[in-house]
Structure 1
Amino acid sequence: MSQAVGVKVDRLDAIRSHLYANGFSTIQALADAIGASLATVRRDLQILEQEGAIDRVHGGARIAEGSSVEVAFQEREKRHLSAKRAIATAAYDLLHPRTAIFLDAGTTVLQLARLVRINPMPLRIFTNGLTVAQEFLNIPNLEVVLLGGQLRSENASLVGPQAEAMLETLWFDQLFLGASAISSDGAIYSVDSAEASLNRRMLARSANRFVLADSSKFGTTATYKVAPLDTAKVITDSGLSRHWRDELVNFGVDATIADLRAKE
């Protein structure tokens, strides 16, 4: 890839990231955000519109209808990264050698997988996440099993009846589960019905259950209910509001608050 092409790809990524984070933006706001001229931004928006990634609207652009339902995995992975790493560190401290654990396909759980890769211990690891499984290539002392099933590209995960049937034959000492949203009703929600169904089976097949959710997930909602939050212990970050800390107590949820300052 030539340098010019690489710069163009980086610019397109920057525009997508800005629109994901900010919603509708004017062309001027995009130009200011990525440090490009108005003419360059207009050309880039035309390319992104042709790809179906964005919709052009008067004076600016927004993510295309349907694309905003769930942000692409690579984009979500970058969000609240310090919080996710702090949560992953707290979760890593709970691991026990020579046990069977399940790691789901969430981006916070991915950070835990990266810690296991850096500091491996003898574990049997099961996952439905392609990106998670890739972290463990050629790592000693790990037995890694990837669930079969239907590929869900938005989350780089495997879901569906085959994955659920495989779970019915397994039992895990620990489950580390991500969450799309934690609603004010005290429940975990997902943006995808198949993912929600598989998450419920994970919870049912695990002795010790942990939900890894950064503080931005609290007080939000998604379409498909997974389970009440008190089905698991919660690991979140110190950015969690006082209101939600009190709510976790009210819901009877055992919570670990990871200190963000340790990751700054």
Structure 2
Amino acid sequence: MSLTNGLKTDRLDLIRSHLYANGFSSIQDIADAVGASLATVRRDLQVLQEAGAIDRVHGGARIAEGTSVELAFQEREKRQLAAKRAIAAHAYELLSPRTAIFLDAGTTVLQLAKLIRINPIPLRIFTNGLIVAQEFINVPNLEVVLVGGQLRSENASLVGPQAEAMLESIWFDQLFLGASAISNDGAIYSVDSAEASVNRKMLARSNSKFVLTDSTKFGTTATYKVAPLSEAKLITDDGLSNEWRTQLEKAGVETLFADQGAKS
């Protein structure tokens, strides 16, 4: 590859990254972001459009609709980010070297995966999350196993009978599980039946179980029940209401509170 082509490839990557981070952008905004002329950006956008990576719309561009799943996951990842990072930091302190852990596909658990990538310790990691697994590419001291199954695009996770059959033959020292909702009945809920089913199997195959979820998920509802929250220990942020704290105490749920201020 020539130097010129290399620079062009880098610029195309910059344009894609800018559109991922900012959504629809005008040609001028893109030119300012990547340090190129308007004419150059127009040519680059044509190349990206022909490759199916972007859509040209209304004097600017956006990521192509076909990548909306990744974008949706990224948007969920950004919500309550300070709380998620604080929860993940608390969970990281509970890890023990040379143990087998399972990380589910949730966005809070993803923050734990990012911490493990930055500060790796010897672990055998199992996950059904594609984006979670990507965090561990070329990271030393980790043995990583991606659980197979049917792809659930909405969460970039692998679910279904094949995933559950694989889980049936493995035992985990620790499970770190996210939650779509914690309903007023004190149970974990999911928006997807297959996700709920594979989550139940994770719980059944783990010694120490931790639910990682921020305080905004409490008092919300989703369709499919996973399990009572009392089946696991809970790690949440210090923004949880006093009413919920009392309810959890009465239900005997061991709860660990992460300080958002310390990790924001």
**C-alpha RMSD over aligned residues:** 2.8
Structure 1 position 13, deviation (Å): 5.3
> How far, CA to CA, are the matches of 2:205 and 2:17 in structure 1?
45
Residue 148 to residue 259, structure 1, CA distance change in 2 (3 Å): same
Corresponding residue for residue 107 of structure 1: 107
Corresponding residue for residue 17 of structure 1: none
Residue 242 to residue 52, structure 1, CA distance change in 2 (3 Å): same
Larger radius of gyration: 2
Corresponding residue for residue 261 of structure 2: 261
Structure 1 position 192, deviation (Å): 0.5
Residue 219 to residue 123, structure 1, CA distance change in 2 (3 Å): same
Corresponding residue for residue 152 of structure 1: 152
Corresponding residue for residue 75 of structure 2: 75
Unaligned runs of 5+ in 1: 15-41, 54-66
Structure 1 position 12, deviation (Å): 3.8
Q: Deviations over 1:132-191 (max 9, x none)?
A: 111111111110000000111111110000000000000000000000000000000000
> How far, CA to CA, are the matches of 2:172 and 2:240 in structure 1?
29
Corresponding residue for residue 122 of structure 2: 122
Residue 5 to residue 228, structure 1, CA distance change in 2 (3 Å): closer
Q: Deviations over 1:50-81 (max 9, x none)?
A: 9599xxxxxxxxxxxxx9xxx92111011000
Partner SS, residue 139 of structure 1: coil
* Residue correspondence of structure 1 range 165-176 to structure 2 within 5 A: 165-176=165-176
Structure 1 position 252, deviation (Å): 1.0
User: TM (normalized to structure 2)?
Assistant: 0.76
Residue 185 to residue 151, structure 1, CA distance change in 2 (3 Å): same
Q: Deviations over 1:185-213 (max 9, x none)?
A: 00000000000000000000000000000
Opposite residue 237 of structure 1, the aligned amino acid is D
Residue 13 to residue 106, structure 1, CA distance change in 2 (3 Å): farther
> How far, CA to CA, are the matches of 1:140 and 1:11 in structure 2?
32
> How far, CA to CA, are the matches of 1:136 and 1:159 in structure 2?
20
> How far, CA to CA, are the matches of 1:2 and 1:94 in structure 2?
37
Residue 138 to residue 2, structure 1, CA distance change in 2 (3 Å): closer
Q: Percent identity, please.
A: 71
Corresponding residue for residue 191 of structure 1: 191
> How far, CA to CA, are the matches of 2:255 and 2:223 in structure 1?
24
> How far, CA to CA, are the matches of 1:13 and 1:254 in structure 2?
44
Residue 3 to residue 137, structure 1, CA distance change in 2 (3 Å): closer
Opposite residue 141 of structure 1, the aligned amino acid is N
Residue 10 to residue 242, structure 1, CA distance change in 2 (3 Å): same
Partner SS, residue 239 of structure 1: coil
Partner SS, residue 179 of structure 2: coil
Unaligned runs of 5+ in 2: 1-11, 26-56
Opposite residue 249 of structure 1, the aligned amino acid is E
Opposite residue 129 of structure 2, the aligned amino acid is G
Matched, 1:218 2:218: yes
Corresponding residue for residue 249 of structure 1: 249
Corresponding residue for residue 28 of structure 2: none
Opposite residue 130 of structure 1, the aligned amino acid is L
Opposite residue 182 of structure 1, the aligned amino acid is I
* Residue correspondence of structure 1 range 22-101 to structure 2 within 5 A: 43=58, 72-101=72-101
> How far, CA to CA, are the matches of 1:144 and 1:187 in structure 2?
30
> How far, CA to CA, are the matches of 2:215 and 2:14 in structure 1?
38
Q: How many residues are aligned here?
A: 221
> How far, CA to CA, are the matches of 1:2 and 1:156 in structure 2?
22
Structure 1 position 8, deviation (Å): 6.9
Structure 1 position 237, deviation (Å): 0.2
